[in-house]
């Protein structure tokens, strides 16, 4: 999941140090420091201070949030020492130094938004020769990095972060943020969470009561009424996944949504799943209802491909996506993320289940990478796992359709002979981009989806 990139070796030069750039990244990301040739005009050879630029993250990402700054001005750092940790919409990345030297300037503080193409830090590397430094837009790091052996991989959490990347202190992003903002070393905060996790209450207590009192009297403090801590308002800056959610959901409000709710009788599917559970276990796969929903959606998408399309930004073209990369809204310890299962149209239900298991595991561990989080073409959200009957999902742009399923509930329904019978009912709520999806198409797609689930044998007919 992680990659380390080595920078191009620049020789020959009397002052040059050919150094390596070590950046832990999710599969498809590219994050690299560039070095600005023009900078040298301001600094003579005797003091070759170099600005490291944040460049080429990929996926169209133009900015990242600075989560942690590991250096300050005047620090002496060695090659591969951590410089900072940043978070894009997709991943968290620790960046290490490619040079040894003295930090002359740190351009960002924790919580700042670092802009691609702008310097992160300036570093004085007396043994370097700026003549040999490429211009910022020279893509040398990425092109050579793939073939270069990795002398030192830098551990980096790829995901939507749940754990301190140091690997020492477990905490959620919200807790880490509070710690950062108050200059608190999380390792000093007595943790009461499972596995030594520092909970929000722990850090708030620590801030309120101070370290000495907390560490010496943890029991007393824990027994204090919650209301005491909760009484004050707290202002917390918007960061991390919440920031991403604000951006994506705000963009989605520009899209007129068409909504449709439908009921699905789940009794036959429940029988089928029960019958297949043993086979799934033999293959070490957990077979829930989701793989059936995902496969049924894919089969229905074959009939109504416009629901697997994307409208171009200029609204002049519609791209019918060839692959059914079906996203699954996932409730993870760090928040909502939507990894997608690639090429569902080519996968069996058991293969879909295997993929879902893999994504869920990575989501739990906070290790989902860019590859799994990008490229989705359609989304399904199972809010029923948590509870709730109906939902009003919001399209996950640039996709044009999303479905949310509610909890399966035993409900009275009429049989064909007019008698009242118990049925296992699940509601599915569809939202579609009404600019290009009309209600009739949505309704027909929903009918096809419902039919596949109510009569699972019918899926066999259309599966390849
Ligand atoms: N109604 C009743 N039971 C359901 C259900 C539903 N709609 N969906 C799943 N279940 C059952 C599963 O079958 C499983 O039972 P089992 O152990 O007997 O097999 C159990 O609930 C737990 O399922 P889970 O482990 O969560 O797997 P899943 O494949 O059903 O769902 C996710 C996977 C990722 C979708 C789910 O865990 C999740 O995160 N849902 C939340 C999505 C969300 O937050 N949406 C809001 C978006 S804004």
Q: Per-residue pLDDT tens for 284-334?
A: 999 999 999 999 999 999 999 999 999 999 999 999 999 999 999 999 887
Two structure tokens written together for 318: 């519609």
Q: Which residue has the higher pLDDT, 88 or 371?
A: 371
Two structure tokens written together for 386: 């948590």
The Å distance, Cα 340 to ligand 1 centre, comes to 16
Q: How far apart are CA 74 and CA 148, in angstroms?
A: 31
pLDDT of residue 203: 83
**Out of 15-19, 111-115, 258-262, least confident range:** 15-19
For 380, the enclosing helix (H) or strand (E) is strand 378-382
The percent of residues in the chain predicted with pLDDT above 90, rounded, is 49
The Å distance, Cα 369 to ligand 1 centre, comes to 22
pLDDT of residue 110: 86
List, in sequence order, every residue forming a beta bridge with 331; answer none if it has no partner: 336
The Å distance, Cα 185 to ligand 1 centre, comes to 36
Q: Do 191 and 172 contact (CB within 8 A), yes or no?
A: no
Q: Do 25 and 1 contact (CB within 8 A), yes or no?
A: no
List, in sequence order, every residue forming a beta bridge with 328; answer none if it has no partner: 380
Query: Which residues does ligand 1 sit against, CB inside 6 Å?
Result: 288-290, 328-331, 336, 356, 360, 381-386, 405, 407-408, 426
Q: What is the mean pLDDT of residues 254-263?
A: 98
Ligand 1, closest atom to CA 407? 1
What average pLDDT is seen over the chain?
78
The three-class DSSP label of residue 77 is strand
**Out of 38-47, 281-290, 364-373, 379-388, least confident range:** 38-47
The Å distance, Cα 382 to ligand 1 centre, comes to 6
The best mutation among 265, 275, 288, 363 to test binding of ligand 1, ranked by most ligand atoms within 8 Å of the C-beta, falls on: 288
Cis peptide bond N-terminal to 12, omega within 30: yes
Two structure tokens written together for 4: 């380390």
Q: Do 388 and 382 contact (CB within 8 A), yes or no?
A: no
Nearest CA, atom 26, ligand 1:
385
Distance set, CA 227 to CA 93, 147, 181, 222, 232 (Å): 37, 58, 23, 12, 9
pLDDT of residue 211: 62
Sign of CA dihedral 420, 426, 427, 433: negative
Backbone angles phi, psi at 263, to 5 degrees: -100, 140
Q: How far apart are CA 305 and CA 322, in angstroms?
A: 9
Q: 342-366, pLDDT tens digit by residue? A: 999 999 999 999 999 999 999 999 8
For 142, the enclosing helix (H) or strand (E) is helix 140-145
Q: What single DSSP character describes residue 378?
A: E
Top mean pLDDT of 59-68, 191-200, 226-235, 272-281 is at 272-281
Q: Which residue has the higher pLDDT, 110 or 433?
A: 433
For 251, the enclosing helix (H) or strand (E) is helix 240-252
| pLDDT above 50 for 28 | no
Q: 202-219, pLDDT tens digit by residue? A: 888 888 777 644 333 444
Nearest CA, atom 27, ligand 1:
288
- Burial class for 286, CB neighbours closer than 10 Å (0-12, 13-18, 19+): middle
- Burial class for 149, CB neighbours closer than 10 Å (0-12, 13-18, 19+): exposed
């Amino acid at each position: 999941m992680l990659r380390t990139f080595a920078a191009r070796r620049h020789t020959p030069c009397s002052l040059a140090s050919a150094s390596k750039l070590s950046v832990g990244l999710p599969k498809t990301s590219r994050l690299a420091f560039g070095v600005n040739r023009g900078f040298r005009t301001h600094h003579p050879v005797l003091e070759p201070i170099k600005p490291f630029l944040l460049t080429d993250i990929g996926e169209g990402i133009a900015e990242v949030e600075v989560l942690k700054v590991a250096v300050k001005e005047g620090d002496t750092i060695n090659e591969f020492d951590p410089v900072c940790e940043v978070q894009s919409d997709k991943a968290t990345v620790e960046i290490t130094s490619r040079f040894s030297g003295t930090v002359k300037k740190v351009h960002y503080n924790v919580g700042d938004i670092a802009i691609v193409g702008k310097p992160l830090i300036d570093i004085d590397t007396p043994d370097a020769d700026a003549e040999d430094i490429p211009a910022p837009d020279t893509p040398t790091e990425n092109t050579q990095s793939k073939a270069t052996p990795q002398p030192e991989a830098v551990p980096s959490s790829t995901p939507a972060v749940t754990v301190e990347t140091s690997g020492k202190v477990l905490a959620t992003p919200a807790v880490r943020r509070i710690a950062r903002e108050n200059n608190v070393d999380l390792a000093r905060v007595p943790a009461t969470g499972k596995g030594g996790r520092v909970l929000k209450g722990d850090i708030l207590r620590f801030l309120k009561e101070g370290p000495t009192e907390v560490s010496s009297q943890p029991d007393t403090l824990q027994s204090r009424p919650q209301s005491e801590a909760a009484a004050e308002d707290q202002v917390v800056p918007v960061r991390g996944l919440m920031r991403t959610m604000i951006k994506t959901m705000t963009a989605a409000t520009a899209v007129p949504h068409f909504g449709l709710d439908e009921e699905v009788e789940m009794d036959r599917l429940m029988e089928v799943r029960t019958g297949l559970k043993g086979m799934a276990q033999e293959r070490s796969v957990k077979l829930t209802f989701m793989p059936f929903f995902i496969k049924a959606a894919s089969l229905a998408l074959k009939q109504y491909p416009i629901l697997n399309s994307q409208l171009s930004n200029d609204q002049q073209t519609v791209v019918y996506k060839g692959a059914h990369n079906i996203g699954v809204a996932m409730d993870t310890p760090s928040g909502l993320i939507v990894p997608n299962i690639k090429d569902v149209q080519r996968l069996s239900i058991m293969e879909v289940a295997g993929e879902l298991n893999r994504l869920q595991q990575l989501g739990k561990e906070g290790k989902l990478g860019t590859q799994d989080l990008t490229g989705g073409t359609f989304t399904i959200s199972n809010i029923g796992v948590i509870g709730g009957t109906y939902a009003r999902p919001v399209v996950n742009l640039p996709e044009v359709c999303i479905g949310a399923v509610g909890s399966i509930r035993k409900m009275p329904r009429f049989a064909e002979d007019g008698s009242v019978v118990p049925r296992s009912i699940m509601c599915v709520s569809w939202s579609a981009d009404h600019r290009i999806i009309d209600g009739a198409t949505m309704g027909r797609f929903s009918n096809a989806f419902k039919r596949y689930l109510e009569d699972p044998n019918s899926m066999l007919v259309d599966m390849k």
